[in-house]
Each structure stands twice: as structure tokens, then as C-alpha cells.
Amino acid sequence: MAGRRSGAATVAASDAASGPAADGAAAEAAAGGATDKTPRTARGRKTLRAILDAAAAEFGARGFHDTGITHITQRAGVALGTFYTYFNSKEEVFRALVRDMSAQVRDHVAPAIAAAPDGLAAERAGLASFLGFVRAHKEIYRIIDEAEFVDPDSYRAHYQNTADRIALRLGEAERRGDLSIADTEVVAWAIMGMNVFLGLRFGVLGDDRTPDEVAGIANALIARGLVRG
Amino acid sequence: MAGRRSGAATVAASDAASGPAADGAAAEAAAGGATDKTPRTARGRKTLRAILDAAAAEFGARGFHDTGITHITQRAGVALGTFYTYFNSKEEVFRALVRDMSAQVRDHVAPAIAAAPDGLAAERAGLASFLGFVRAHKEIYRIIDEAEFVDPDSYRAHYQNTADRIALRLGEAERRGDLSIADTEVVAWAIMGMNVFLGLRFGVLGDDRTPDEVAGIANALIARGLVRG
Amino acid sequence: MAGRRSGAATVAASDAASGPAADGAAAEAAAGGATDKTPRTARGRKTLRAILDAAAAEFGARGFHDTGITHITQRAGVALGTFYTYFNSKEEVFRALVRDMSAQVRDHVAPAIAAAPDGLAAERAGLASFLGFVRAHKEIYRIIDEAEFVDPDSYRAHYQNTADRIALRLGEAERRGDLSIADTEVVAWAIMGMNVFLGLRFGVLGDDRTPDEVAGIANALIARGLVRG
Amino acid sequence: MAGRRSGAATVAASDAASGPAADGAAAEAAAGGATDKTPRTARGRKTLRAILDAAAAEFGARGFHDTGITHITQRAGVALGTFYTYFNSKEEVFRALVRDMSAQVRDHVAPAIAAAPDGLAAERAGLASFLGFVRAHKEIYRIIDEAEFVDPDSYRAHYQNTADRIALRLGEAERRGDLSIADTEVVAWAIMGMNVFLGLRFGVLGDDRTPDEVAGIANALIARGLVRG
DNA sequence: CATGAATGAGTCTTCATTCAT
DNA sequence: TATGAATGAAGACTCATTCAT
């Protein structure tokens, strides 16, 4: 699932603590290099999860640079050194987190999109679902945004992947005859930007509109535009 | 014009070195408190400008956290201590810079918008102008984005102001009968998000479309939407 | 015993390494807040003691402002950063030291005073003991004196406490009928001043009189005064 | 009068601004080396005085190390660089000040002592006068005390001179048959210590006794001692 | 004489990372 | 695995002093 970097305990591996498909992933990880930091015991998996949750909370609240390893370990209730049992560096947890959040967003939004009757409804459902998610996980916004400065690769990958998925959907909708799109990539980035900033404004900064309201208005915009008549 | 913080050498003051309208602002600033760091001599104004330019270049290239004061002063060709003759901290130059860039973007785009025949054309011209500006000043993008983590107030102010200006234009266009807008604020943020991400994708990350192409496609989107017919 | 400031490794804790009565205090300190810098291992306690001893020597020799953290850590044989494992700042060691020295002086002098047959003999024994102590620990003088500028609270507390103890003794002696005192507080400060300056002159600056000689002369002064007859 | 160090503007020279005997001193100073910083114009003398007064106030209030040259020049209302027109270093003003204050104390107390009928009365009058002076010039206390760490020579000279003067008076009183003194130097330091600490307690820290009360009690102590009968 | 911009050595402090127990 | 003491490179900031105008 989530990509891995050599020797680092991965979020996928941590999912192993709660998910059924985890055994496979864990085994896979275990088959990795000598520097593998995947936990082998139940106790280890629990600790790893605690560290990851703490890291998400701290990075979300104070940002990458103002978060110290001690902040994370103290919140997780483990000793400082324990951190390095699971991660090789501060950047590494951050990377793991960005991938995890990126996947979480996608997985949360996907079902809503899949259930939509047509291309337009899909975008609307996707945005509404996204807004709801952002409100519930404000720290995600921050972490992904900060990736631009901490781990540019993850940052670009996240937005490139998101845009690609939108473009894919638009392409299908066009082929089905639902929509007419001049340039799928340009339009995909435009829609994504719209969604992201609406998430910022109506998910993170304020909540003076319901997700459905916002999604409805935005959807009308991309459906028929602003020109009267 | 640009807001000031007590005791800090301001960009407004530095503008005085090149702009005619600045004299007023500079005088105003000079009338400030005793701990004022506004330069009182021509030599001082020149040095301040050198430091600001160097800071913009360095922050743009390496980011806030990876830029040291020495990077800035070395590039500016002054001694380390000279930095503190004009700014009280690293954060302070950054803040000054964000405000400066925010104003630069606005001032660069404004004429193009003003010259447009109608509301829709205004948005198109604005986006095209913005894309051109971003390509020429890629560091601005990074600096404003990083403000989210270094100086959240400036960051929010920048985007709020930008959205407000768009909303204002949309409102006028609607009153004139050009456009029909369901919710000016939501639409303004949507359009801004579109623009920002198109700037990121086709201004900073790649240049596989001309500003006019991108602006045309985006403009068609907000004009008529994607629905065929 | 020695007062504590939140989160700082205390001298009381370090006393735990050498004194039997200290265990209680150490346990108490250990029960403190989470940011507590009290060492939890034997190795830690040893290091803390090394730093304190080094700090006393360096501050005594070069003074607070001319002593760098590196001077202390180098003398203590630990790395620079180790200092901050036990103290939050240079001021903090200094404070700890002043309290420690204040207590040391008191504890050194107390037995001599307790063993004296009457009030007058007590002051004499106390002064003689003090002079001996000062000669053996000249740095204490300097550290306590410099506290006036580095940590005024400790400085005043030290002299106020000392004067209070003298006043207490004088009060008892008067009640017993040994002495007749016009104003206990004034007299206590007068005697303390006498002792301190005799310590400066015949303990720190020169040793051209024995402690007993000096104490004898001073005691005669406060016993019968200078008026002949 | 006040001693001079090569090339430094002296307090004696500054006195020249207001005293009649000054011309002589100024001429003397002018006859000094090439690095002489004695002001030659009336304007210069005024500036020098402003700097000295500001320095006394600042050193007294914040202490030597926490006082910057800018604090002094700002309070004096002159530019930073002007300081170095009159002094070669921060230490130098401080030294000049210590000598000045030392002389001021002496000169203030001397008349009261001279007017006393006998040795004992002289000490009493001297202490009362000293206490009054300390109350009016609390900063003096601090400056002289801090000299121990900034300029040990001045510090020792001040107290040695003071003790010497006391010893001289005691010697005379003894020769006249007023008093009987076992060891003039020891007693002189004892009395000085008393006076200094009474000045600290009842001049600087609190004023819950009048100078005369304190002087009376202290005088009774050194006159007849504490032994009843 | 006065001014204030420029200088840069010096210091404290932080914190990611290592490692012995 | 877990712990927490130890490490030291790195970096922001201060401030006495110099000097050209």
C-alpha cells in the first residue's frame, strides 16, 4: 500500500496492528533489508502506533520544525531513545506520515466518488467528503502542506497523484459523453486547487458553510460556469 | 501601504529607495518610536535594500529553516551584524518579505485586470498575468507558502486579501449583469485556489503550457463549465 | 532544605550523592514535574556533581560573566550539551550554587556556635570558624557577592537569613541575661557586616592575622566596646 | 583629586564644568598625553557630564554587564559614537565612576566627622551622614560593589582607603586617650563592615529606621559593647 | 565634535542522534 | 525492546568598538 523506504518502519506496517491484511505486509516488510525497523512483537507494534499517532498530533499542532523528538516521545509515553527503534530520523516519520495521510484522504473520499451516478456528481461527492474529512482531521492539512518544505518529493507526489486521479475521472466522463473537457490536465489541477482552497477556507479556517453547501456551489461552478443564460 | 511592525525596518521604507510614492510612507515610518530601525541615511537605505533582496533570494532557494543569517549577509555583501541593524530577527525579515511579495503580486496583476473589458476577461487577464509573474519570480511562491508555518498571520492575510479582491470584482460583475454568482465568497476562494494551483503546476513545476493557454482553459471552465450542451 | 526552582536539577539532589539525610529531599525532588532535570540514574548524579563542582571553581576564579559554559563543562570533563541535561541556563547553576554555598557556610559554622558556653563566646566561635572557612573556600566569597548582580533574590535571602540567625541568638542571650541589646536587628546586621568584612580582609585579601586573633579582637569590641574604663 | 588613567576623560575633568578649582585640573589634564580625551570646549564639557550622569544612572539601575553603551548614550541624548569621544572603553567610564563615587562618599561624610567633638562622636556622625548619603544615592552602593568584579583594583582601593581613614582616626583618638584599641586595622575593618551593611540594610533595602537611630545604636555598640553592667 | 552605520568575534542555547545499560 | 544520559555541530543573536562622513 503505502510506499516504503529502506529499513524504515512503515505506516503500512503499523496498520498491521489493527487490520487483517496486515500480516502479509508485515511479512513482506520483515523480508526486507537488515536495517529493517518493522516491529516483530505485539508490544512493538503498539509502541510504533503510539509514536505515529503522537507524531501526527505534534506535527499537526506545532509544525515540523517546532516539533522535537521529545515532544513526540513524551506524548507517546515512551523514552526518547525508543523513537530510534522505529525510525531512522525525524524526516522519516514525517515522510511516513505524509504518505499515510495522503492515503487516508484518498481512501476516505474514494467510496463517495465511486457511488456517484455520473462524473459531475462524483466531483461534488468527492469535494463534500473531502471537506468533511478535513474538518475532522485539520492536522492533515498542515502536514501535507509542510511537506513542500520538508519532503518535496512526497508533496509533489501527493498532488500529482490526486490530479491524476481527477484527470482520469474527467477522461472517463468525457468518453461517456457526460462532460466536455478542453485539457484534462489543466482542468484537473484547476479543480484540485479549488478543492484544496475550499478545504482551507471552509474546513480549516472557518466552518461558516456546510460541506454540502460549499460542494454544491463549487459543483455548479464547474458544471455551468458563471455566465448568465 | 505595506503594514508595519514597531521598530522594524520596513519594506515600505526600502521602497522609498525606488518608488516616488514611497516618500510619504518613509516619513511616516521615520516618525515612529525611538527603537526604530528605519535607516536615516542614503547608505543605510541601500544596505537595507541589499539585505532584503538577498533574503528573498535565499529564502526562495533554500527555504526559511535552511537559510542562515550568514547566507543572507554574505549574499548581500555585508557583515553578519549588519543584519541586526535593520531587523530584530530572522522572522522579521521574513515577515517583511511576505508582505512585500504579497504587494508585488497584487501590483503586478492589477493593471492587467483593470484593462479588461468585462468581469470574465478580468479573471482571465489576471490569471495570465499571475502565471507570467510566477514564472519570473518562482521564489515568491515558496516564500508565501512557507509563511503558513513561519508567520501564519501574514499567510492568512495574503490569501484573505486576495480572495476579497476577487469577491469584490465578482460582485461588481454581477451587479453589472455580466455574471451570476451563487455565493461570492465561496466562488472567490474556488477561483483563487484554481489560480494558485495552476500557478504551481504551470508556473513553478513545469512550463509545458503557455500562460495564455492555461488562462484560456481555466477561463472557459469558470465561464461555461464542463457540461456539454 | 535548600529551596528548589521548578525543573532544575538541585543542589539538594546532588547532596543526595554524599549525604545520608539527603535521600528524603532527593525523593521529594524526584516527585516533581515532568520537565524535571533531576538525574534518575547513579551515572547522572555523578555527572551533576562534577558540573556543580566545576561551576563553583570556575565562577569563583573568573566570575560569572567571564565564565563560559564550556569552561565549566571542560573542567567537569563532559560535553557542552551535557550541561543542559542538568540546568536550563547559566543563571540556574549559579543560583543553585549560591544556595549551596549559603548552606555550606551555615552548616560549617553552626557546630562551633552550638558548642559555645554563652552568647558572646558563640559569636566569637562563629567568627573564628567563618574566617577559617573563608580561607579554605575563597571562591564562596566571590560567588555570594556576585549574586547581588546575577541573582539578587538569593543574595538578599542569604544575608537576611544570616542576620536573622544572629538576631535569634542575640535575643536568646538577652533573655538569658548574658547580654543587653538595644535593637536586635540593627545589632545583628552590624555584627554580620563586621564579620563579612573581616572575612574579606583577613580571609580573602590577606592572612596577616590568625582567625583566632581577629575573632578575639572583634569579640572584645562587641563585648565591651572601645571606651576606656 | 580623582586619579587619572592615560588619555581618559576624567571625572575630575568633568567636575571642571561646575567647580572653580577645575581650571587647574583641566589644564593639568590637557598637559597629558596625545590620546587625551579631556574636552576642550564648553559644549564638550557639557556632553561629558551628560554621559557620566547617564552612566551612573544606568550602571546603578541595571548593573555593569546589563548596561550597554547605547543605554548610556540614549539616556544622555547623544549618538552612540560620541561615547568614544570621551572614553576609550566601557570599563573606563565605570572606573571613573567608581573613583568619583568613592570621592563623593568621602567628601560628603568628612565635614560631619571633622565637626565631631571626640573620636566616638566622629564615628557616629560619620555613620549617620553615610546612611543619609546612601539613601539619596542608592546607585552608588551598587556601582562600588560591582567594582569587585569589574575593576578589582578600584574596589580594593576604595575599601582600603576607607579603612585607612578610620584607622587613622582611631589612632588619634587613642593617642588622645579617648579610646582604647587593641588592633587598629582589625577594628577599622570591623567598623567599616558594620557601616557598610547597615547602609545596605537601612539605606538601600529598607528605611524602617532613621539614620540617627541606626547610628546611635551602632555607636553604643562600639562604645560600650553588649555585655551588661 | 557629533553621528550612526558597519563590523565580527564571542556565547548561549537547541536538538537530532548515538549508545551503554 | 526500552531507557535516558551523553554528544557536539550548528545557529541566532549581542554588543563593544571602529570609522567615514
pLDDT digit string, tens, across residues A159-207 = 999 999 999 999 999 999 999 999 999 999 999 999 999 999 999 999 9
> Which nucleotide is nearest, taking the CA of residue A40 and each C1'?
F1
Neighbours of B103 (CB within 10 A): 18
Quote the minimal CA–CA distance from C32 to chain D in Å.
33
Residue A10 is predicted with a pLDDT of 54
**Chain C residues touching D191 at Cβ < 8 A:** 194
Query: Can you tell me the mean pLDDT for B201-210?
Result: 96
Smallest Cβ–Cβ distance between B223 and the set A177, A196, A225 belongs to A225
Q: Which amino acid is at C191?
A: I
CB-CB under 8 Å, B217 with A186: yes
Please tell me if residue D201 touches chain C, with a CB cutoff of 8 Å.
Answer: yes
Q: How far is the CA of B132 from the C1' of F11 (A)?
A: 37
Residue C17 is predicted with a pLDDT of 36
User: pTM value?
Assistant: 0.84
Q: Which three cell numbers stand for residue B212?
A: 495564455
Nearest to B104 by CA among B14, B205, B38: B14
How far is Cα C84 from Cα C69, in angstroms, rounded to an integer? 10
Neighbours of B28 (CB within 10 A): 15
Neighbours of A198 (CB within 10 A): 26
Is the distance between the Cβ of D14 and the closest atom of strand E smaller than 7 Å? no
| Residues β-bridged to residue B227 | A179
Is the distance between the Cβ of D44 and the closest atom of strand E smaller than 7 Å? yes
Q: How far is the CA of D140 from the C1' of F20 (A)?
A: 38
Is the distance between the Cβ of D88 and the closest atom of strand F smaller than 7 Å? yes
pLDDT tens, position by position, B61-90: 999 999 999 999 999 999 999 999 999 999
Q: How far is the CA of A153 from the C1' of F14 (A)?
A: 39
Q: Which three cell numbers stand for residue C91?
A: 543563571
Residue B52 CB contacts under 8 Å (≥ 6 apart), including other chains: B11, B14, B93, B96, B97, B100
Flag residues 16-45 of A with CB < 7 Å from strand F. 39-41, 43-44
CB-CB under 8 Å, B156 with A205: yes
CB-CB under 8 Å, C182 with D190: no
pLDDT tens, position by position, A91-142: 999 999 999 999 999 999 999 999 999 999 999 999 999 999 999 999 988 9
Q: How far is the CA of A93 from the C1' of E19 (A)?
A: 21
Residue D121: closest C-alpha in chain C: C227
Residue B9 is predicted with a pLDDT of 56
Is the distance between the Cβ of B81 and the closest atom of strand E smaller than 7 Å? yes
Is residue C226 within 8 A of residue D191, CB to CB? The reply is no
pLDDT band at residue D38 under the 50/70/90 scheme: confident
Secondary structure (DSSP) of chain A: -----TT---HHHHHTTT-TTHHHHHHHHHTS-TT-----SHHHHHHHHHHHHHHHHHHHHH-STT--HHHHHHHHTS-GGGHHHH-SSHHHHHHHHHHHHHHHHHHHHHHHHHT-SSHHHHHHHHHHHHHHHHHHTHHHHHHHHHHHHH-HHHHHHHHHHHHHHHHHHHHHHHHHTSB--S-HHHHHHHHHHHHHHHHIIIIII--SS-HHHHHHHHHHHHHH-SB--
Is the distance between the Cβ of D39 and the closest atom of strand E smaller than 7 Å? yes
CB-CB under 8 Å, B223 with A187: no
Which nucleotides of strand F come closer than 7 angstroms to any CB of the protein?
Answer: 1-20
Residue D137 is predicted with a pLDDT of 92
pLDDT tens, position by position, D70-105: 999 999 999 999 999 999 999 999 999 999 898 999
Nearest to B151 by CA among B195, B198, B92: B92
How far is Cα B32 from Cα B42, in angstroms, rounded to an integer? 18
**Chain B residues touching A228 at Cβ < 8 A:** 177-180
Residue D216 is predicted with a pLDDT of 98
Q: Which three cell numbers stand for residue C189?
A: 546586621
Is the distance between the Cβ of C62 and the closest atom of strand E smaller than 7 Å? no
To test the contact with chain A by mutation, choose from B178, B197, B202, B207 the residue with the greatest count of A C-beta atoms within 10 A, namely B197
Residue B229 is predicted with a pLDDT of 67
Please tell me if residue C195 touches chain D, with a CB cutoff of 8 Å.
Answer: yes
Is residue B146 within 8 A of residue A149, CB to CB? The reply is yes
CB-CB under 8 Å, D223 with C225: yes
Is the distance between the Cβ of A89 and the closest atom of strand E smaller than 7 Å? yes
**Chain B residues touching A226 at Cβ < 8 A:** 120, 170, 179-181, 187, 222-223
Residue nearest F19, CA–C1′ metric: D81
Residue C9 is predicted with a pLDDT of 54
Is residue D203 within 8 A of residue D141, CB to CB? The reply is yes
- C to D CB pairs, distance under 8 Å: 153
Q: Which three cell numbers stand for residue A146?
A: 509542510
Render each residue's pLDDT in chain C as its tens digit; 229 residues.
333 334 455 554 434 333 333 333 333 333 333 357 888 888 999 999 999 999 999 999 999 999 999 999 999 999 999 999 999 999 999 999 999 899 999 999 999 999 999 999 999 999 999 999 999 999 998 999 999 999 999 999 999 999 999 999 999 999 999 999 999 999 999 999 999 999 999 999 999 999 999 999 999 999 999 997 6
pLDDT band at residue D10 under the 50/70/90 scheme: low
Q: List, in order of start, the domains of chain A with CATH numbers.
A: 11-88 (1.10.10.60), 97-224 (1.10.357.10)
